[in-house]
Structure 1
Amino acid sequence: TKSKLNYHKNVCHQEKPQCDCCGKVFANKMTLKYHLNSKLTPQAKPAKPKEKLYIPCKGCNKVFYSKKSYRAHVVIHDGLTYPCPICGKLFQWKRNLARHTRNHRERDAGNTHECRECGKTFSSRDCYNNHMRLSKKHVPEDAYGHECSYCGKKFATKWCMVDHIDWDHLKRIKYQCRVCFKVSALNVCEG
């Protein structure tokens, strides 16, 4: 349903907001809003005064106000990687590895995901979902709210715009095959 789709988009595809008061990081804007409302309502129990945390990251000097947000960030500098047991591709986050291995299973099972609107097929649900979320064929023009400061081209997500700037304007190579060293403008889905 449309409401479930909107909930999914809000939960899974937005940057993680942080509370300005206590520094907690939330999965989405809705949970942050709930948190703020519970803090502001007079019926809410008075919270025990918490020790104000100020945790600077030694790797990049970014400051965190909760241990949880700091621990989530610091893995970037710790070099922790999770290898795919099937193809060896390395992932920084366990959840990305889990999604990747699910794509392997779907592809091995011969599952395909077809777009009913344009007929294009995808070997994984994640690639299909990206197609539906990012394709100009399916996304209304007003959803393209991220504009390139170099050329004015618009994108559905900030990350698509960043990839465009890196590839087209700054000529940075971000994605390269480890086998044949072919470079790509996009982090193409496996299969």
Structure 2
Amino acid sequence: VNDIDSGSEFSHSKKSKSNRYICNQCSNTFVRKNTLKIHLLIHEGIRHPCEKCTKSFSDKSSLRKHILTHKGIRYPCNKCPKSFSIKGDLKTHLRTHEGIRFPCNQCDKSFSRKGNLKKHLLVHEGIRYPCNQCDNSFSRKNYLMSHLL
């Protein structure tokens, strides 16, 4: 496990066994250091508001993606009634109809989204987050947080 930078909260972020950068606040992992830096803004509470509605976002790229929903351009799925404001989201959705799966190489599970497989792989790293109020423990910190609510 390697330190990344020094001199900031980011310095405490580590690389996992799978060579991904780990957020020290919520245990999400990222392939790129810069993506982790953007993600850390979530924990700082900085918000970017949409000028067209009441929504706000922790990073500018999410705001830019959201603004497309106000433009009225839709990409319809030809297999079901769903439509999307972002062409890439339609492409991802089409995988659910095409049966394209991302299998886990460590167990029998498979996923229609690559990102879900990446999150699942953390289960196999053996990192557990124990509850200090009962005997439960969780494979992801956000599962523990939900349990505590």
Q: Whose strand fraction is larger, Structure 1's or Structure 2's?
A: 2
- Give TM-score, length-normalised by structure 1: 0.40
- Give TM-score, length-normalised by structure 2: 0.49
Q: Which has the larger radius of gyration?
A: 1
